[in-house]
Amino acid sequence: MNELLALVILIAAARMGGEIATRTRQSPMLGEIIAGLLLGPTALNLISPNETLEFLGHLGILFMTFLAGMETDLRMLRKVAGPSVLVSAFGIVLSVALGFAVGWLFDFGLASSLFLGAALSTSSIAVTARVFTDFKLMRTRVGLLSMAAHAVDDILAMRLIIFVVSLFGGEATSAPVWLVLAKVAAFLAITTVIGLWVFKPVMRWVYRLRSREMHFTVAVLLVLGFGWMAEFFGLADVLGAFAAGAFLHYTEEAEPAMVHRVEALSDGFLVPVFFGVIGLQTDLFLLLDAVPLVAIALIAAIIGKLVGCGLGARITGYSNRESVIVGAGMVPRAGLALIMLGLVPEGSLPDVMAPLLVAIVFLTALVTGIS
């Protein structure tokens, strides 16, 4: 199918799905994913994922997390720095243990079972940011804790993935822990300097310009620039976009001019593509012969984060209800789990691993949207 026509159909279907979900008091994300599922190989098989759709969807992730950052109070975020480490660590440890147990139960072998555990240790800040924004949770203390825990997850899970992939002789490169921590510190230091001392004078200057669309241009440059900076320091680009939005939270000139324009581009175009592509990438028929595996792996994925992260939040003084919300917010898995597949030599993993991980990414996003 022509790429432009495929884009038209996907956006239209995703937006209609989002509207139906909204009318039934669910997250629009839920309807967007189902729309992709219906257009993909599971149902009508009208559209195949391609590089263009995936790239546009990834831009959607960046702008969505940028907006989430603009709703985040960094002063409050500092207060949850300690609890976020505990939340992330508990969730990763339990997810790895349960994922390994599932792989061992289905005779994946030692290395492949550990691979499944590492894949389940990841989390998706993009999905959580969307759901928390839809339900007005982003500015609550549980929303802040969840965002901080996602940032810690990215660092810890990446180190685990590098170790596991190295067992297969794959493409991952190892680096000393001190170097990773130094890169994280450098990224935080540079973004803090730019955010606290550069953003305000720059935005005052932009505000005086006659070009009304310059605010939007600056937003795009910040999202892409901070995303690149995060990648340069070995972090996920979404963390850079989130940091850019979080520092702009304190720049009053930025919010009125930027938010509406970025929301229009993000919610009206790029984000529906991202969630639609998740559905397009999922062929549930490939898993008909592995229904018990998918069911047990999904239960392990949900329990790993819901119980593990929820327990971490409870230990640090959050109520039972708040702990459940934090745990639920950590349930959706990231595309990083799928990227892992390309890092190991072909034929090193069971054939069912690829469709299984795609299904886990899809189903955990679905469960989070429903909950």
CATH number of the domain to which 73 belongs: 1.20.1530.20
For residue 173, name the pLDDT band (cuts at 50, 70, 90). Answer: low
67 domain residue, yes or no: yes
Average pLDDT over residues 212-239: 86
User: Which tokens is 141 given?
Assistant: 């203390």
pLDDT digits 0-9 by tens, 67-103: 877 877 666 667 788 899 999 999 999 999 999 999 9
79 domain residue, yes or no: yes
Q: Residue for token digits 């909950």?
A: 371
- Is residue 303's pLDDT more than 90? yes
- Is residue 48's pLDDT more than 60? yes
Average pLDDT over residues 211-237: 86
What's the confidence (pLDDT) of residue 363?
A: 87
114 domain residue, yes or no: yes
For residue 203, name the pLDDT band (cuts at 50, 70, 90). Answer: confident
- What is the spatial distance between Cα 85 and Cα 148, in angstroms, rounded to a whole number? 8
30 domain residue, yes or no: no
**For the chain, percent of residues with pLDDT exceeding 90:** 35
- Is residue 346's pLDDT more than 80? no
Average pLDDT over residues 139-152: 87
Rounded to the nearest integer, the mean pLDDT of the chain is: 85
- What is the spatial distance between Cα 340 and Cα 85, in angstroms, rounded to a whole number? 23
Q: Tell me the C-alpha to C-alpha distance, in Å, between residue 144 and each of 152, 160, 167, 238.
A: 13, 24, 35, 16
- Is residue 319's pLDDT more than 90? yes
What's the confidence (pLDDT) of residue 313?
A: 95
357 domain residue, yes or no: yes
Three-state SS sequence of 35-89: HHHHHCCCCCCCCCCCHHHHHHHHHHHHHHHHHHHHCCCHHHHHHCHHHHHHHHH
pTM of the model: 0.75
Q: How many domains does the chain fold into?
A: 1
What's the confidence (pLDDT) of residue 252?
A: 63
User: Which tokens is 193 given?
Assistant: 């300097």
As a whole number of Å, the end-to-end CA separation of the chain is 35
For residue 297, name the pLDDT band (cuts at 50, 70, 90). Answer: very high
Average pLDDT over residues 338-351: 76
Q: Which residue would you say has higher pLDDT here, 355 or 299?
A: 299
- Is residue 247's pLDDT more than 80? yes
Helix 51-70 to helix 237-248 angle (10° resolution) is 30
In 10 A of CB 323, how many CB atoms? 24
241 domain residue, yes or no: yes
129 domain residue, yes or no: yes
249 domain residue, yes or no: yes
Domain, as residue range, for 241: 54-370
- Is residue 111's pLDDT more than 60? yes
Kindly tell me the number of DSSP H helices and DSSP E strands found in the chain. Answer: 18, 0
For 130-167, b/e burial (b = at least 16 CB within 10 A) is bbbbbeebbeebbbbbbbbbbbbbbbbbbebbbebbeb
pLDDT digits 0-9 by tens, 2-11: 899 999 999 9
